[in-house]
Homo-oligomer: A and B are copies of this chain.
Amino acid sequence: MEQYIKTGLVGATGYTGMELARLMIGHPVFKLVLATSRKEAGKTLVDIFPHLQATILADVPLVSPDPDVLAKECDLVFLAVPHGTAMNIAAELLARKVRVIDLSADFRLHDAGVYEAWYNVTHTQQQLLSQAVYGLPELYAQDIAHAELIANPGCYPTSAILGLYPALQQGLIKTEDIVVDSKSGATGAGRKASVSSLFCEVNENFRAYNLGQHRHTPEIEQEVSVAASTPVTLSFNTHLVPIDRGILSTIYTRLNQPATLTAVHDLFTRFYAHKSWVRVLPQGALPQTKWVRGTMFCDIGLAVDPRTDRLIIVTAIDNLCRGASGQALANANIMFGLDQTLGLHGGTLIP
């Protein structure tokens, strides 16, 4: 068993922790040796997740988070704790030469001021920002390969950035008229007890929230500004869908000049030609969240509306897999020189 790469998970009890555990069961190289939870320390994973009975993860011990213990036991640690908390643990682990993949927002924004303005938190580890790599494999695989610290992208940003990147980079659309209308399943709200996340409040319901004010806005803008080679300000808006998993973003853009669907489709297809996980759907087809459930796929559908000079880009991802833990594992693969799809080619669970 020595050839395993030993990993730890800080923050085991949430949905991203559960998803990482799911993917670890089937991964041939990474081995989860330790998980942390202040509240559940002393138990094993199966005690809090009965569905792990009879799997290789059943007996993984739950311990209180201690950087020394983690550093001793692990080559790599995933942080699945809230922003604000993650940054300090990351610093402690990096100081002990452990590689870190942070699933929180703490290292995603290059500008600490922007972070502090949107998250209303002081950034205490700004010295690490320059070494953190934004872990979107389609854009930054080379940097990821040499990173010690990965800022794993947010779920909404993954869906928005992958949709907008080709169009902005190729100058297809206006930078000042972009609306991202995103819809997310309920796992996006996390696994905290709260009345607004109860079954009877979410089920048979659909609602908007955080219009124009979602904290993922600057993350999207940061990355699409790179694509556009100019600062982009856009309107990003979110909704809650009564499903467990999935984000679908409908992205409204204005064409710089008239274009056919065929031309746009070709451009996107070429851009993602050698990317394992981005599927530009055939012309006329539009994504469905169920088609990507449990996978790393980002499906993209395109529509051109000549009546209003608009290009509408629709993307769908699984917010827990592609939008969080699966992407984290992909980054881990790349960091350790493995095939990036290792342990990540399971088929879509459908229906």
Residues of A within 8 A of B (CB): 15, 18, 21-26, 50-55, 57, 177, 179, 181, 183, 185-187, 191-195, 197-209, 211-213, 233-235, 237, 239, 241-246, 248, 250, 252, 276-277, 279, 281-282, 285-294, 297, 299, 301, 303-305, 307-308, 310, 312, 314, 316, 345-351
Contacts and interface: CB of A to CB of B under 8 A. Distances in A.
Given A297-B54, A348-B51, A235 B207 contact: no
A194 to B, nearest CB: 5
A61 B234 CA distance: 43
11 contacts: A51-B291, A53-B279, A53-B299, A55-B347, A181-B181, A193-B195, A203-B243, A204-B290, A206-B246, A209-B286, A241-B241
Copies of this chain in the oligomer = 4
B181 A346 contact: no
Contacts of A310: 179, 212, 235
Contacts of A26: 345-347
Contacts of A51: 290-292, 348, 350
A171 to B, nearest CB: 21
A323 to B, nearest CB: 14
Contact of A345 (B25, B294, B297): B25
Contacts of A213: 305
Given A50-B285, A198-B199, A200-B244, A307 B21 contact: no
Contacts of A23: 347
A286 B208 contact: yes
Nearest to A196: B193
- State the 4 A-B residue pairs at the shortest beta-carbon distance, nearest first: A212-B305, A25-B347, A22-B347, A51-B291
